[in-house]
Structure 1
Amino acid sequence: MSSLLPQAAAAGVSLPLKLQNNSGQGSVYAYVSGSDSSGWPVFVTSDGAVHRLANPSSPVTPIADYSIALGASGSSVTVNLSNYVIGGRVWFSIGQKLQFFVNPGTVPGLVQPALVSADPNWNTNWTFCEFTFNSANLYANISYVDMVALPISMASTGASGNQSVSPLPTGALASIASGLQAQHAADGAPWDHLVVSNSSGGVLRVLSPSHAPVDFGGYWDDYLNRVWSHYAGTSLTVNGQGSIGAYSGKVSGSAIVFSGLNDNGVAFTKPSAVDIFGCASGPLYNSGADARGAVAARLAAAINRSSLLVSGGNNQPDGVTASQYYQDPITNHYARLVHQYASIGYAFPYDDVGPTGQAPVDGHIQDGAPTSWTVSLGAGAGSGTGGTGGTGTGTSAYSTIRASSYAGQSGVQTETTTDSGGGQDVGYISNGDWLKFSSVNFGSSSPNQFVARLASGAAAGISGAIQVRLDSTGGTKVAEIDFANNGGWQNWQTVPANMVASATGVHDVYLVFAGSTSDFVNINWFSFTS
């Protein structure tokens, strides 16, 4: 039986984790769970102690209370992580504590809150984010693969600079729920069963269809029949990307057969609704880090997005843009609505699949040498150290905003930077490209300057403009920097520009690039100054 005593601290490990209650409500509880470096399940308490769970003698044994009580809205508790935590989660609940259990085994198994009505936490309002903190880095993310629930925001400081992840926008949960109920009324599919409400009718959470309490049955049949009919006479190319390469094939019999691809004995036949929504069974199961798995992942993404029959759909994923996703009446409407109302976060397991060279919009922070990490229930985690103009909602405009932390983009790529602080910059930028940063808070008074960290190795005569616009690519232009070759693509300099229009309150900020059709600039970070 394992000891319940805290584990000895790992030498040199120290990461302050600030847990904030910005929910507008009291009686908020936080939990930090995961596994230690040996794979044993643990909880971390407010004093930073790591508690290894005892191996019980019987199944579903309740564990001790490791909750961290947070004060009224606006308060926080800082937990010092002095040990690595692998495969972890930070949980929040409102009004009542969560119940966790443990099962016996060679290594005991933690029983976490589950998305089924029989779970004792079903009527509790709870949410979580995922993380791993090990010797390589801190990696933390917000995902909607399982559900949409209470909003969480995150921020970190460290070697990669200040990073932040914005929360689900105000009203988004209710809008997603309403959209699914409207979709049920339109097509009769059980989208409404994904909405979980409390006794007073308020929305607690929205489940992804992979956790649907009812069977979607033959929902996808018509779409799959059309796809199989089309590709009986047309070649489908799937680029496995990276070192995998591309494979082309057609429907033969009941399966899509890709020339030269070993399907490992699992043919690409028509998947079921469970296969499509879960991406973890049947022909869409990713069987490993091989070509078959890469093709399966990209087919799963294309079917969830209903992008196989649109213009360019025979070239996956490179031939289709995000504007063509979810246009068929038969599609993953949960994913469609999540991306309509949330600027970050996966909505199904392979939602990171995209055209070659385009980074996923997945709502994560990553730092090889973190110095602080903040997780907030609600908005207000800011972007690490915060700024001077915010009101506790969104990312402060006065903080250092990494270009690679964008919430949306068109035409650009990320790359490793040699600039101080390391991490990634954004490059391969030319006319018409853009970056989106959600919920940037300018506060009650407008900044005086926009400042950007730029570099360029463009050829002679090649130049362009970095335009700062509010709320859309064609929105109000508040600043502009004109830039050309400054000595190299990693020859970084900080360039200021005066504001040409005021910006107050919270806005989505777009960096719109105009000028040469050739690449003309790299950008590492930007900020605003008073």
Structure 2
Amino acid sequence: MRSRRSFLATAAAGVAAAATAPLWSGALAPRAYAAGASLPISLHNNSGNNTVYAYISGSDSTGWPGFVGANGQFQRLPSPSSVLTPVADYSIPLGASGSATNFTLAEYVIGGRVWFSVGQKIQFFVNPPGGNGGVPGLVQPGFTSSDPNWQTDWTFCEFTYNSANLYANISYVDLVALPISMATTGSSGSQSVSPLPSGALASIASGLRAQHAADGAPWDQLVATDSAGNVLRVLSPTHSPTDFGSYWNSYLDSVWTHYETNTLTIDGQGSIGSYSGTVSGNVLTFAGLNDDGVAFTKPSAADIFGCASGPLYNSGGDARGAIAARLGAALNRSSLLVSGGSSQPSGVNASQYYQGATTNHYARLVHQYANVGYAFPYDDVGPTGAAPVDGHLQDGAPTSWTITLGAGGGGGTTPPPTGGTGAYATIQAESYSAQSGSQTESCSDTGGGQDVGFLSAGDWLKYSGIDFGSTSPKQFVARLASGAATGISGAVQVHLDSTTGTKIAEIDIGNNGGWQSWQSVPANTTGTTTGVHDVYLVFAGSTTDFVNINWFTFTK
């Protein structure tokens, strides 16, 4: 999603978002039908831990904060007279791992969050009314070591449920923590958002520590651990306990120097139009653009990571806001000096993002390891028509909403069996339970590890107990590389329960640049596949080695 503030404002209103909002934001407009104030909710514990608590916070239709109890009723917070006050215990204890807790939400909740904590409860507080129109303020878990919840393992997803729709999403704008997945049914059909893949949090933390070792910037300070050194969460740079200081200065100097003699054109998209600018007197000036008295000077690190302050101040739904959002996105991705970078955002594609030594490495690693989810406030900016990167669900008349804690299950209505592997998680190729004809080797793809190679016709890999839940996949996606000779190609086939069982997908591949030239290749699935199956990857075609595989997954 965007910044938390803009999500709450636009989703709560249920109207089309401003031009500075994500490219898909027109979907927030009210539908011809309205959601009734009665929504069955199922909270699934797939965490592997038997002590898990859930909380549902938000505001009622008048804007008063509170919590939803286990009976589905919204409980308004009391208004303290003068001091910060602990909130009563509104936790919803979940059952053992593999179980579900069900209730019906009986009224609308605006700007809400569904929280989970493992092992111990979250401490919430309420501030007395100040300059907030007489409304008390809910104090949620924070991002500093002084916060009383710092050593608690917690996570959340966000939502708004009003007469226009249910809108819910998973975002990494603030942090990456315990994985959550979601699924809905309703007037928009069955929808789902996959969780952070198993091991992704540790991989992101490891990547940030490695980046700190490489450039000395405080990326390692974004990793929060418990007293035993286990990773609890990874913070975004906007919450860094250590200032990034001059981190961006060298890159900004190069950008400003380049655009003294070259023109930068930014398309505000929608009805905003394009504006072209050059640097003069250390100010980037766009002809015809009203900058609202805030010039585009060189931003600070905090300005870039937050996309909302200094010269990247976002003035709302006007042209300046649209240009600032797209400039902020280009800076986070260090895409202003790459080929096509003078035409933002459509002049560059995702493969050119984060290629510079100076870039938002948090965002780079989130997109490397997470299936979906924003990593900075305007991560939705991209070429017109590009697929959104957020993990959101929206339904104008929802009939159910399932929220699952844990990397398995993919938000489906049936948790995976003990020992099973979720089909919608990332499955490493080398994790096979049986094989024929393959070899593992060191992998130079992002994340390193091993891949499975030397694959040719007749070889196969078996993955036992893959759980598809109650929703059939739409695509099979594999991370493949090939250095096969000219004229050599083959197929990666997906079979169920045996090497000759039902074939549900096939990818045909030849040389794509080398045995370590990795690309994610999708293929549509056929038929209906639900429940638990052994999955076989069967290789057909050339009897000469034609492909390596790093990982695969299924998508809904």
User: TM-score range with shorter-chain normalisation?
Assistant: 0.7 to 0.9
Residue identity in the other structure for 1:305: R
Question: How many angstroms apart in 2 are the aligned matches of 1:442 and 1:127?
Answer: 36
1:211 aligns to what? 239
State which of 210, 235, 256 in structure 1 corresponds to 2:284.
Answer: 256
CA 1:48 to 1:219, structure 2 compared with 1: closer, same or farther past 3 Å?
Answer: same
1:399 maps to 2:464: no
Question: How many angstroms apart in 2 are the aligned matches of 1:152 and 1:367?
Answer: 19
Question: How many angstroms apart in 1 are the aligned matches of 2:248 and 2:81?
Answer: 45
Question: How many angstroms apart in 2 are the aligned matches of 1:46 and 1:232?
Answer: 60
Residue identity in the other structure for 1:239: D
Question: How many angstroms apart in 1 are the aligned matches of 2:330 and 2:35?
Answer: 46
1:368 aligns to what? 396
Unaligned runs of at least 5 residues, structure 1: 1-9, 409-440, 451-465, 481-494, 511-526
Question: How many angstroms apart in 1 are the aligned matches of 2:521 and 2:51?
Answer: 43
CA 1:65 to 1:386, structure 2 compared with 1: closer, same or farther past 3 Å?
Answer: closer
Q: What does 1:369-448 align with in structure 2 at a 5 Å threshold?
A: 369-382=397-410, 384-385=412-413, 391=420, 393-395=422-424, 396=468, 399-400=471-472, 448=502
State which of 189, 194, 197 in structure 1 corresponds to 2:222.
Answer: 194
SS in 2 for 1:269: coil
2:343 aligns to what? 315
SS in 1 for 2:260: coil
Q: What does 1:199-348 align with in structure 2 at a 5 Å threshold?
A: 199-348=227-376
Question: Per-residue CA shift, 1:257-310, capped at 9, x if unaligned?
Answer: 001100000000000001011112101121110100000000000000000000
Size of the alignment, in residue pairs? 434
1:93 maps to 2:117: yes
Residue identity in the other structure for 1:508: T
Question: How many angstroms apart in 1 are the aligned matches of 2:524 and 2:371?
Answer: 22
CA 1:39 to 1:468, structure 2 compared with 1: closer, same or farther past 3 Å?
Answer: farther
Offset, 1:148: 0.7
CA 1:363 to 1:442, structure 2 compared with 1: closer, same or farther past 3 Å?
Answer: farther
Offset, 1:194: 0.6
SS in 2 for 1:232: helix
SS in 1 for 2:62: coil
Which ranges of 4 or more aligned residues in structure 1 deviate by more than 3 Å?
A: 379-392, 400-403, 441-450, 466-475, 477-480, 502-507
1:61 maps to 2:85: yes
Question: Per-residue CA shift, 1:86-138, capped at 9, x if unaligned?
Answer: 00000000111000011111011000000111110011010000001111111
Residue identity in the other structure for 1:108: P
Residue identity in the other structure for 1:298: R
Question: Per-residue CA shift, 1:228-268, capped at 9, x if unaligned?
Answer: 00000000000000000000010011211001100000000
Contact 1:142 1:345 in 2 (8 A): yes
State which of 5, 17, 20 in structure 1 corresponds to 2:44.
Answer: 20
Offset, 1:59: 2.5
Offset, 1:65: 0.3
Question: Per-residue CA shift, 1:172-213, capped at 9, x if unaligned?
Answer: 111111111111111111111111111111111111000000
1:110 aligns to what? 138
Q: What does 1:170-181 align with in structure 2 at a 5 Å threshold?
A: 170-181=198-209
SS in 1 for 2:261: coil
Residue identity in the other structure for 2:120: Q
Question: How many angstroms apart in 1 are the aligned matches of 2:470 and 2:200?
Answer: 26
1:42 maps to 2:66: yes
CA 1:63 to 1:22, structure 2 compared with 1: closer, same or farther past 3 Å?
Answer: same
Offset, 1:384: 4.9
Question: How many angstroms apart in 2 are the aligned matches of 1:407 and 1:139?
Answer: 27
Question: How many angstroms apart in 2 are the aligned matches of 1:445 and 1:407?
Answer: 20
Offset, 1:379: 3.2
Residue identity in the other structure for 2:377: P
Question: How many angstroms apart in 2 are the aligned matches of 1:11 and 1:280?
Answer: 33
Contact 1:163 1:383 in 2 (8 A): no
SS in 2 for 1:230: helix
Question: How many angstroms apart in 1 are the aligned matches of 2:221 and 2:39?
Answer: 41
Question: How many angstroms apart in 1 are the aligned matches of 2:190 and 2:107?
Answer: 23
Question: How many angstroms apart in 2 are the aligned matches of 1:38 and 1:293?
Answer: 29
Q: What is the RMSD of the two structures over their aligned residues, measured on CA atoms?
A: 3.0
Of the two structures, which has the highest relative contact order with CA contacts closer than 8 Å and spacing of 6 or more?
Answer: 2
Residue identity in the other structure for 2:309: S
Contact 2:195 2:410 in 1 (8 A): no
1:508 aligns to what? 553
Question: How many angstroms apart in 2 are the aligned matches of 1:211 and 1:120?
Answer: 16
Question: How many angstroms apart in 1 are the aligned matches of 2:394 and 2:173?
Answer: 19
Contact 2:41 2:103 in 1 (8 A): yes
CA 1:478 to 1:17, structure 2 compared with 1: closer, same or farther past 3 Å?
Answer: closer
Offset, 1:354: 0.5
Contact 1:137 1:369 in 2 (8 A): yes
Question: How many angstroms apart in 1 are the aligned matches of 2:367 and 2:297?
Answer: 28
